[in-house]
Amino acid sequence: MRRLRTVSIVVLAGLTAACSGGPAPTTFDLTIPDRVGRASPGRSQLVVAEPSALQQLDSERILVKGADNTVSFIGGAQWSDRLPRLVQFRLVQAFENTGRAVGRAGTGINGDRALIGELRAFHLDGGRGEVVVEYSARLVDATTSRIIAAQVFRATEPVGSDNAGQVASALDRALQDVLGQVVRWANARG
């Protein structure tokens, strides 16, 4: 009886693995820049919203745009979370590392200012052999809901192939550039 249970468990595990459709995709994470400066004392409290994004970017998949505007994804590779959520977390961490009082929107934290953004590009441009990261930011007064400042931040990085590891690494470097720009810009404006 014990042997039958063991065999059943092994067979069940094998069937589960077979139904999963093959090996798990390689998962990549994004990082924050090492240094982006320090926030001045007395800065307002900031709440960072999850960036809005078109459906093609609102996933874990790594996007490739062809020269003819076709959209595809790198097979067998993914981000560690939905891309807008991952970018929100990395923005919060980058601000925290400057000493700024910051939190994520939707967690019950009320700030004096809100950073509301749109993830416009985060892909491999297959026609140009580079990755593109573009983030449109709006710094908003939380009391009046008025836009204090707005700017689009963009970075590109060359990439030699469509290899998932090389593309993810280049996108990470471009995001670090954009995060640094956004943090310095927002900290300079209160």
CA distance 92 to 42: 18
Q: Does residue 16 form part of some domain?
A: no
Nearest to 64 by CA among 171, 154, 172: 171
Q: Does residue 169 form part of some domain?
A: yes
Q: Does residue 67 form part of some domain?
A: yes
* Contact yes or no for 105/50 (Cβ under 8 A): yes
Q: Does residue 20 form part of some domain?
A: no
pLDDT digits (tens, 9 = 90+) for 70-114: 999 999 999 999 999 999 999 999 999 998 889 898 887 788 999
Contacts of 115 (CB under 8 A, 6+ apart): 46, 47, 48, 49, 91, 137, 138, 139, 140, 182, 186
Global pTM value: 0.85
CATH of the domain at 116: 3.40.50.10610
Q: Does residue 19 form part of some domain?
A: no
pLDDT digits (tens, 9 = 90+) for 82-91: 999 999 999 9
Range of the domain at 129: 26-188
Q: Does residue 1 form part of some domain?
A: no
Q: Does residue 14 form part of some domain?
A: no
Report how many domains make up the chain: 1
Q: Does residue 178 form part of some domain?
A: yes
